[in-house]
């Protein structure tokens, strides 16, 4: 019998979970495991807002894949997949090379959904990868520096106004983090923080719809305390290089729009002929298998896994991607060696939103967390993820994170001092 090859495409939350479960269970089986990813590192997408705002270094949120696979029998291929040839069971890379598979797990994540808003795709920045976070941060610094040399007052205002589109979890985290780091950046560029504006614009009346109303209200209060101007129930109608136009007629001069209003599946699946549902997410059965082929599983943000209880697709979250990765791994093992099959049932374990170092809210089951307990919980979730990638060795390799958790846990009171926005403008 020829050696079977299982390929995991995508080293995100879902793909790595699946790969590590397969590596553990298939250690002595002779099955070849291959991980294909477009970068040679895994990135903590859930923390991109930190380097984007400038409060954390990029090293803080990435792990070289070599460190993860080094002690496991896994072949690492750094390549971008252009197409999946389902019929001939092979991946076709952008450089024209090909890789055949016997079993394939696809976890290529999501891309921004622009909802056809004119100018959004052309002019907005997005928060989807480490490179996006770097670009956002450099753009912010460039705008602050440019604001000192532009000729007109309108241009100066546009350079010093930052708009975050969308007030879901990602949007509020970005707005909160940015509001906290801007005073420091302003000092660097000799700018009065009172001249800088941060807007968070949301099309529907509520923010953070996955959170209960009282937690969402606490977030709104914290954003306002930091000087963020929260506009809800007003869609963005147009984005240009110098302003945004809102549905209520307001025009906000800005050269920086960070769009976090929604995601759709990576279009690799649709392009490769997979049956897809809403927002391009690939259809799968309860075992995460694609109807396109019994040898292909699709997991995470790019899969449309329907919750049998509600009949609705599970939310595109990291913990759903992780659970789906485990289900796909169990089912591949069952395909190869027999045994029972697993099914995905989404469980809402909770979520935490951190708005800078000074504030966080979250829930775990029915327990709500606000302030320091939520901040500690957020850090612990990230450390648990690092642990799952490589145990104590991986945690020790990332000691600054451990120290950061201890610092957050022991901090006496929030270090935040409002420096921007209305509080500052009114002289408070
Ligand atoms: C700022 C931000 C904050 C978030 N916060 C939270 C949170 O607090 N909690 C939560 O549960 N969720 C959160 N999310 C959502 C969460 O990050 C996603 O649901 C999760 O990353 C999805 O995991 P995934 O494995 O499907 O894909 P990803 O983690 O996106 O991984 C996809 C991988 O595929 C690779 N890839 C893509 N295309 C190709 C290709 N063509 N060829 C080769 N490789 C490719 C990418 O490089 C990447 O490594 C947040 C998202 C953002 C943007």
Which atom of ligand 1 lies closest to the CA of 353? 8
pLDDT digits (tens, 9 = 90+) for 350-368: 999 999 887 999 999 889 9
124: nearest Cα among 259, 261, 262? 259
More confident residue, 408 or 117: 117
What is the whole-number distance in angstroms between the Cα of residue 44 and the centre of ligand 1? 8
174: nearest Cα among 274, 48, 31? 48
Helices (H), 40-97: 49-53, 65-69
pLDDT digits (tens, 9 = 90+) for 43-58: 999 999 999 999 999 8
Q: Characterize the bridge pairing of strands 103-106 and 5-9.
A: parallel
Give dist(CA 403, CA 16) in Å, integer. Answer: 25
Q: Examine the pLDDT at 42 and tell me if it is beyond 70.
A: yes
What is the whole-number distance in angstroms between the Cα of residue 301 and the centre of ligand 1? 7
Ligand 1 touching residue 13 (CB < 6 A): yes
Percent of the chain with pLDDT over 70: 95
What letter does residue 225 receive in the DSSP assignment?
A: H
Would you place residue 426 in the very low, low, confident or very high pLDDT band (cuts 50, 70, 90)? very low
- What are the residues whose beta carbons fall under 8 Å from the beta carbon of 403, sequence distance 6 or more? none
What is the whole-number distance in angstroms between the Cα of residue 186 and the centre of ligand 1? 31
pLDDT digits (tens, 9 = 90+) for 175-221: 999 999 999 999 999 999 999 999 999 999 999 998 999 999 999 99
Q: Which residue in the block uniquely carries the two structure tokens 């291959």?
A: 34
- Whose Cα sits closest to atom 36 in ligand 1? 108
Q: Examine the pLDDT at 422 and tell me if it is beyond 50.
A: no
Q: Which two tokens stand for residue 164?
A: 């975050």
Which atom of ligand 1 lies closest to the CA of 79? 43
What is the whole-number distance in angstroms between the Cα of residue 333 and the centre of ligand 1? 24
Domains and CATH numbers, the chain: 5-111+263-337 (3.50.50.60), 120-262 (3.50.50.60), 350-410 (no CATH)
**Per-residue confidence (pLDDT) for residue 73, from 0 to 100:** 87
Give dist(CA 336, CA 169) in Å, integer. Answer: 39
Q: Can you point out the beta strands (E) in 234-335?
A: 236-239, 243-246, 251-253, 256-259, 263-265, 282-283, 296-298, 303-304
Ligand 1 touching residue 80 (CB < 6 A): yes
The mean predicted confidence, pLDDT, of the chain is 93
**Per-residue confidence (pLDDT) for residue 424, from 0 to 100:** 33
Ligand 1 touching residue 266 (CB < 6 A): yes
Which atom of ligand 1 lies closest to the CA of 315? 19
What is the whole-number distance in angstroms between the Cα of residue 413 and the centre of ligand 1? 33
Contact 369, 361 (CB under 8 A): yes
Which atom of ligand 1 lies closest to the CA of 45? 17
Query: What's the Cα-to-Cα distance from 112 to each of 92, 125, 417, 427, rounded to whole Å?
Result: 24, 10, 33, 39
What is the whole-number distance in angstroms between the Cα of residue 118 and the centre of ligand 1? 26
Radius of gyration of the chain (CA): 22
Helices (H), 241-371: 268-271, 318-337
Crossing angle for the helix pair 318-337 and 13-25, nearest 10 degrees? 30
Q: Examine the pLDDT at 87 and tell me if it is beyond 50.
A: yes
pLDDT digits (tens, 9 = 90+) for 132-184: 999 999 999 999 999 999 999 999 999 999 999 999 999 999 999 999 999 99
Q: Which residue in the block uniquely carries the two structure tokens 């990230």?
A: 382
Ligand 1 touching residue 38 (CB < 6 A): yes
Ligand 1 touching residue 109 (CB < 6 A): yes
- Ligand 1 site-directed mutation target among 124, 169, 322, most atoms within 8 Å of CB: 169
């Amino acid at each position: 019998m020829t050696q079977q090859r299982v390929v995991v495409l995508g080293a995100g939350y879902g793909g790595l979970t699946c790969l590590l479960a397969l590596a553990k269970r298939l250690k002595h089986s002779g099955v070849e495991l291959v991980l294909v990813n477009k970068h040679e590192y895994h990135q903590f997408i859930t923390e991109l807002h930190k380097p984007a705002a400038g409060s954390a270094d990029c090293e803080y949120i990435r792990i070289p894949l070599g460190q993860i696979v080094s002690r496991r029998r896994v072949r690492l291929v750094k390549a971008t997949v252009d197409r999946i040839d389902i019929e001939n069971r092979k991946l076709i890379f952008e450089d024209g090379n090909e890789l055949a598979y016997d079993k394939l797990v696809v976890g290529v994540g999501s891309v921004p959904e622009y909802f056809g808003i004119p100018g959004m795709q052309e002019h907005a920045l997005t928060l989807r990868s480490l490179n996006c976070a770097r670009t956002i941060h450099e753009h912010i610094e460039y705008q602050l520096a440019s604001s000192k040399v532009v000729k007109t007052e309108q241009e100066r205002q546009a350079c010093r106004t930052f708009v975050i589109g969308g007030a879901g979890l990602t949007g509020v985290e970005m707005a909160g983090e940015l509001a906290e780091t801007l005073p420091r950046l302003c000092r660097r560029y000799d700018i009065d923080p009172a001249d800088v504006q941060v807007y968070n614009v949301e099309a529907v009346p509520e923010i953070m719809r996955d959170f209960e109303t009282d937690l969402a209200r606490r977030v709104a209060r914290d954003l306002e305390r930091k000087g963020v101007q929260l506009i809800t129930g007003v869609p963005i109608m147009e984005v240009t290089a110098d302003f945004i136009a809102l549905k209520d007629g307001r025009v906000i001069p800005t050269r920086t729009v960070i769009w976090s209003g929604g995601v759709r599946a990576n279009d690799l699946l649709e392009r490769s002929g997979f049956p897809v549902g809403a927002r391009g997410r690939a259809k799968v059965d309860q075992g995460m298998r694609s109807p396109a082929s019994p040898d292909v599983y699709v997991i995470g943000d790019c899969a449309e896994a329907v919750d049998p209880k509600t009949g609705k697709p599970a939310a595109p979250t990291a913990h759903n991607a992780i659970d789906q990765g485990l289900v796909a791994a169990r089912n591949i093992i069952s395909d190869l060696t027999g045994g029972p099959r697993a099914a995905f049932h989404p469980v809402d374990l909770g979520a935490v939103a951190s708005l800078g170092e000074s504030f966080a809210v979250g829930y775990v089951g029915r327990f709500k967390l606000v302030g320091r307990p939520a901040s500690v919980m957020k850090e612990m979730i990230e450390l648990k993820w690092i642990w799952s990638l490589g145990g104590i060795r991986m945690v020790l390799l990332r000691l600054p994170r451990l120290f950061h958790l201890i610092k957050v846990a022991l901090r006496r009171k929030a270090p935040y001092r409002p420096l921007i926005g209305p509080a500052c403008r009114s002289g408070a």
